[in-house]
Structure 1
C-alpha cells in the first residue's frame, strides 16, 4: 500500500473526538476526511474510496448501524465502529451491519493504532460493488507483492504494543491464520463433513452452495479448521483476528471476547449449524472452540 492509498474517512459528530481521530490517523500516515453525520459520511466514503473508515454509532440522522449497511453496499473499506454503547446487542448489531472491529469509548489512541495496523495486514475481500469502492492490493510500483504477503503487509508499520492489563490466557501462542493446502478433492481446498474451504481465494462452500462470510468470520473458520481438534480459547481467537499472539501481546478485553462470540454465532447461522448439535464447530464449555471429529472418528 502506497502512502497515497492510506486514506481514512472519519464519521463522528463529536468535534473533539473527530479531531483526536484525525490526529491519531494522520500520525499513522493517513490522509483524513471527516464528516459530522452518517449521510455525509457515506457520501465521503463513496467519493474518497478510503482504506479505513471509523464510524460513530450514535449520530443525528441515520445512526452508525444504518450508515455501515449503506457503506457495505458499495465499499470494502476496513470499518471500525467507535461507541460508548457496549451491551452485547449493540456489539452484535455493529458486526452484523458490516463492521470489522468494534471499540468502546473512551478508547486509547495506541490501541486504535495497533488495531488499525493489524487490520491492514489482513487480506481484503471484494464486495458486490465491484470496482466502486474496491482498491486493488498491489505493490507501489505495480508489481505483485512477495508470496504470502499482501501489499498492506509490505508497507504497513508494525503495530504498537498495547500495555497488558489482564492476566494472560493459558493458551499456547497463536499461529498466523494460514490454512494448509492439504487436499480433500481439488488441490488447494480443504474439506470437513461437507464444508469446503479454499484459503487463497477465500471461498467457503457447504454442500455445494457457496457461503458469503465476512472477513472476520472467514478468518475464524480458517483458524478453527487449521487447528483441527486443538481447542482455541476466545482470547486466542481475538488476538488472531488482531494479527497478534501471546508472543507479542496478551491484552484481551471482555469486549474482544464478546466480539468473538458474536462472530461465531453469525458464522454458525450462515453455515446453518445448530450449536447444540454442531456439524463443524464444537463449543468446549469454559475453554473455547474446536473442530468436530471426522465422521466415524
Structure 2
C-alpha cells in the first residue's frame, strides 16, 4: 500500500520521495504516463500524486481511466494554473491539486489530510457491505440485497469511496459501460431504488445521503 508518485522531473521526484519516506510512507515512482494504469491495477497504491504533463500519456486521461475502476485518492500536480485545468482535473475524480512550484512540506500535509479522511470510513464500509461482482451479489450487514447490475455498480462505487461526494455525471460514467445517452435524473431513479432495498436491511438508517445541487455520498 505505497504512495505512487507519477512525475517526470527527477529532482522533484527525489524531493517528494525523501519527504514522504521520512514520514514513514512507502513510496514508488513512475515517470511515464503509459506505465501508471497497469501498475495501479497490479499494486493498489494507497494514494497517487499525479503530474498533469507526462510523457506517453497526460495526467487527466490517466485520472479518467483510474476512476473507471478505482477510488484511490488522487492529488493532481500541475504547473498550468488556468482555472479550467484545475476544475477539469477535479471533475474527473481527483481529490485535490497542487500547483508548481510548491513546498514538499505542503505535499506531505495534503497527503496526510486526505489519508486521515479515508481509512476509518473504508474499514467500516468494507465491514458492512459485501459485494461479489463476479456473481452479481451483495449484502449489507449480512442481509442479502436483490440488486440489478446497475444498482450493484452504484453501491460498489459508493463503497469504494465512503464519504466522497459524487455528482450525477460522475455516477453516470460509472453506471453504464456502453456510453448510452441518458439523463442525469436516471441516477436519481437508481438511487431511490437502491435506498429502498437498503432500507430492508437497515430500516433505521439511510446510508446514501444527498447534497442538494451537488450529488450523493455514502455515510456509515
TM-score, length-scaled by structure 2: 0.56
RMSD value, Cα: 3.4
Is the 1:80–1:102 Cα contact (8 Å) retained in structure 2?
yes
Is 1:210 equivalent to 2:205 in the alignment? no
Which residue does the alignment assign to 1:237? none
Mapped partners of 2:119, 2:93: distance in 1? 13
Task: Report the Cα offset of residue 208 of structure 1.
Answer: 4.8
Q: Any unmatched runs of 5+ in structure 1?
A: 127-135, 139-143, 145-200, 212-221, 226-266, 272-297
- 1:82 match: secondary structure: strand
Mapped partners of 2:118, 2:69: distance in 1? 18
Task: Report the Cα offset of residue 207 of structure 1.
Answer: 5.7
2:65 aligned residue (58, 70, 78): 70
Q: Any unmatched runs of 5+ in structure 2?
A: 128-161, 169-186, 193-208
Which residue does the alignment assign to 1:26? 21
Mapped partners of 2:46, 2:8: distance in 1? 21
Deviations 1:15-68 (A, max 9, x none): 111111211211121111111111112222222211110100011221000011
**Which 4+ runs in 1 deviate beyond 6 A?**
203-206
| Superposed counterparts of 1:193-208, under 5 Å | 202=163, 208=189
1:137 aligned residue (95, 100, 123): 123
Mapped partners of 2:117, 2:58: distance in 1? 27
Is the 1:24–1:113 Cα contact (8 Å) retained in structure 2?
yes
Going by fraction, where is helix more abundant, 1 or 2?
2
TM-score, length-scaled by structure 1: 0.43
Is 1:44 equivalent to 2:30 in the alignment? no
Instruction: Return closer, same or farther for 1:210/1:15 CA change in 2, 3 Å cut-off.
Output: same
Is 1:113 equivalent to 2:108 in the alignment? yes
| Superposed counterparts of 1:153-192, under 5 Å | none
Which residue does the alignment assign to 2:3? 8
Which residue does the alignment assign to 1:97? 92
